[in-house]
Amino acid sequence: MAEVSGRTALITGGSRGIGRAIAISLAEAGAAVAVNFRDNAAAAQSVVETIRKAGGRAMAVRADVSSSTEVAAMVAAVRRELGAIDVLVNNAGIGLIRTIDELTEDVFDQTIAVNLKSAFLCTQAVVPEMRARGWGRIVNISSGAARGAGGIGPHYNASKAGLEGLTRGYAARLVKDGITVNAVAPSLIETDMVRSGLASSPARIPLGRFGTPEECAQIVLMLVGNAYMTGQTVALSGGMSFI
């Protein structure tokens, strides 16, 4: 991971679960890490302290990443404290479980804004400086629901399928600028979302267990460290699906 050492990474939704594991893993690889959060400042600060105790550089930065104004302020704050952003991990997301009959326009719009629009806003905010330096890594955290039925609802399917389309669209247009754009599609990772009712047991997973946030982080690090891979979605599903 020599490519990561000395660079600056921003992880949206980095205060817990998959985002927390990614932030800590990137810090262990030598990156200075900005941990974005919206509501849980204490959890974000806990990630920062974990990184600092291990000798790394980190900061917590609050922003609602579905707001262009707040994204601009967040990127400026990271630049002032840690330097220009080299690695962006679009991990922020929500999973509001709804049946078709329960699904409302407000829930649909909120899901698209947080899961998809945020990745667009953050990517647009960091690409100019990545282009200027001729190097950048963008990783979007998708889901197996982008290509399968999933258990949350069609609004979530649509947001994650859109995220994979966004991944390919940016990858094709940034490939000549030294910027790679990829996605990771986890399924049934042991996070708060899964534990709160999305899946009560791992019985339908061929591997026989839930995945871990650390296993997701391993894939992110692989994508950040691989200069030849772009426009791809890596499935992490314990054998439930094959992309």
Task: Provide the phi-psi class of 83: left if phi over 0, else alpha when psi is between -120 and 50, else beta.
Answer: left
- Give dist(CA 181, CA 198) in Å, integer: 29
Element (H, E) at 137: strand 136-141
| Contact (CB, 8 A) for 167 and 173 | no
Catalytic, 156? Answer: yes
> To which residue do tokens 């817990």 refer?
16
How would you label 202-213 residue by residue, b for 16+ Cβ within 10 Å and e otherwise? beebeeeebbeb
From 156, 188, 235, 237, the catalytic residue = 156
Query: Measuring CA to CA, how many Å separate 237 from each of 80, 168, 242?
Result: 38, 21, 8
Q: Where in the sequence numbering do the catalytic residues fall? A: 156
